[in-house]
Chains A and B, each alone.
Chain A
C-alpha cells in the first residue's frame, strides 16, 4: 500500500503496524533501544510492556533519566546493559529492581555505562551528526568521566563524548500520519537527537490523523519522515506518564509500583497484573477504567493558530 497525494504520485510508503508487529519486526534480542527520551513525559510504557510480553532478552536501554520503565524491564529480565544518566522512580527516588540487579545480580547482572543527562545527549547528537564524538566542558572533575570509557580526556578543559547510536528509538507522540510525519509538542528532552541517531525509529501515537493535518503545521513535526520505520496507534500508550493535551501524570500509579516492587515477589505480582495478564494496551486501559478518564484535561488549552500563507 502506498500513500497517494492529490496528484497521485506516491509520497511515502505507509508504515502502520500493531505494537506487537513493530516490536517483533524491529526490536530483536540484544537490540539497543532509546526510550523515555522526553524525561518524565511521553514515556513509551505500552512498547516497553510489549517487549516484556515478547520476552526480549539482552537489551541495552539508552536514556537520560528513566522514570520507572527501565526499572520494570530490568525486573522482567529483559536487560543486559544500561546507558543512562538516572534510573529510578521520579515520584519515589530509588528503583528497587535496578538496585536488586546491581547490588545482588537479581534477576541477572547488569552492565552500567553511567552518564549525566548532558553527556547522553551529546553522545546521541554526535551519532545524529555522523561524527565520532563531541567536545564538552561538563563532567570535568566528576568520577562519571573517569569511569566511563565513552568519555575521554581531550585538550585541557574539554572532554570528548563518543557517539551513541541506538539500534532503535521508540518515541511516543501526540499524533502522526501513517507515513511517519509526527507532531509532538511540549518538552522534547532528547527525542529529536535520539530519532536522528537511531538506525530505526518506531513512533507510537495517541492519534493517527490525515497527512494534511500534520503538514498544515510543519514546525511541529518531530523528524523527517524517512527516519521513521514504523507507526503505531496506542491510545494511552504513555500512561502513567503524561501526554500534553491528552492526559496528565498518574502519580498514584508510580507510588503503587514503588511499594509493590519493594520485594521481588511483589514486583512479580505487579508484572502479572499490569503486563503479563494484559494482552494489549486496550485491555490495560480497560483495567484502569475510570481512573484513566480522570486524567484527561478538564478543558482544552489551545494555542493561537499560525498562518503559513
Chain B
C-alpha cells in the first residue's frame, strides 16, 4: 500500500529523528512542536522541551496547539517561569538541540528573518528574530526547517539574523566569540541538507521520496553538492503519521 503524506508531515518525521532520547530541546512552534511530540511518543520518551515564553515540558504537548502559550501547553508543564530563566538555561549550554524556522537561509546555514533587500530600503520587512538568533548562537546543535525554493535557499542572505557558519571560513564561529553550536541539519520540503565538517557547506544528505536530487538542486540558489551517501529520506511509517495527525487533527500546520 502506498502511503500518502504531505511534505510537512515528512519534515516533522525528519525533525523528530534529530532528537535523541534524554536530550534538552528548544522547541518553538509549528512543525518543531509536532516533531518534539512525535519524538517523545516514539524513540525519545525522556526528551525535555523548552519554550521561550517561559515553559519547560517533559510531558507530550497536548494536541491542536496554535501557540506555545495556549492554555493546554501551560497546564501540567514541568516549569512555568519566565523567558530569561529559559534563556539562561540555553546560554549556560544545557540545550542539546534547538529548532528554528526562517524566511531564507544560505549555503553556510546563516538564517535571515529580518528583511529582504537593504536595511535602508527593505523590499520586504520580515517580523524579526524572536528567539531564533539566541537559539542559533547558544544551542549545541541547530536544526532549521524551511520551504525549499531558490529564493529561500540563497548563496548569501541579505541579513544574518541567526548565525550559522558565517562565510564558511575555518573557525568562523569561534572568531565571533561563540562558544559552541552551529547548524547540524536543514530540513526542507524537498530534502535534508547537512553541513560538510570541513567546508561547512550545506550538502544534500537525503531527498524526499517524491522528488529527485536533480530537482532539489534546481530549487536551490547555489550549486548544491550531493553528500556521498545521498539517498531518499525514509518515508513516515503508519504509526508516525497517526501520531502526527492526532497532534494536528485539523492539519493546521501539516496540510
List of 5 A-B pairs having minimum Cβ-Cβ separation, nearest first: A88-B127, A141-B176, A141-B163, A40-B69, A157-B177
Q: Given A39, A84, A98, A297, which contacts B53 in the complex, CB threshold below 8 Å?
A: A39
Alpha-carbon distance between A67 and B130 when the two chains are bound, in angstroms: 11
Asked whether A249 and B66 contact (CB < 8 A) given A39-B53, A117-B83, A186-B74, the answer is yes
* Cβ contacts under 8 Å, B160 to chain A: 141-143
- B69-A39 in contact (CB<8A): yes
Does the CB pair B137–A117 fall under 8 Å?
no
> Contacts A137-B138, A248-B71; is A103 near B163 (CB within 8 Å)?
no
Contacts of A139 in B (CB 8 A): 133-134, 137
Chain B positions within 8 Å of A188 at CB level: 54, 80-83
A115 to B161, CA, bound (A): 10
12 A-B pairs besides A86-B128, A98-B125, A118-B87 with CB distance below 8 A are A41-B74, A98-B127, A103-B125, A114-B129, A116-B132, A122-B84, A141-B176, A144-B161, A187-B69, A248-B71, A249-B67, A301-B75
Known: A39-B69, A249-B67, A297-B71. A138 touches B123 (CB 8 A): no
B137-A193 in contact (CB<8A): no
CB-CB under 8 A from A189, the residues of chain B are 53-54, 82-83
A282 at the binding interface (Cβ < 8 Å) = no
Quick one: given A64-B130, A85-B129, A125-B84, are A142 and B163 in contact (CB under 8 Å)?
yes
Q: Give the shortest distance, in Å, between B74 (CB) and chain A (any CB).
A: 5
Chain A interfacial positions (CB closer than 8 Å to B): 38-41, 64-65, 67, 84-88, 90-91, 93-95, 98-99, 102-103, 114-119, 121-122, 125, 136-144, 147, 156-158, 185-193, 241-242, 244-245, 248-249, 251, 297, 301
Chain A residues with CB under 8 A of B231: none
Binding site for A on B (CB under 8 A): 29, 51-55, 66-71, 74-75, 80-84, 87, 90-91, 114, 119, 122-134, 136-138, 159-163, 166, 172-173, 176-179
Asked if residues A143 and B114 are in contact (CB atoms below 8 Å), the reply is yes
User: Can you report 24 residue pairs joining A to B where beta carbons are below 8 Å apart?
Assistant: A40-B69, A64-B130, A86-B128, A86-B130, A115-B129, A116-B129, A116-B133, A117-B130, A118-B83, A121-B87, A139-B133, A139-B134, A140-B178, A141-B160, A142-B162, A186-B71, A186-B74, A187-B55, A187-B81, A189-B54, A193-B82, A193-B84, A242-B70, A249-B67
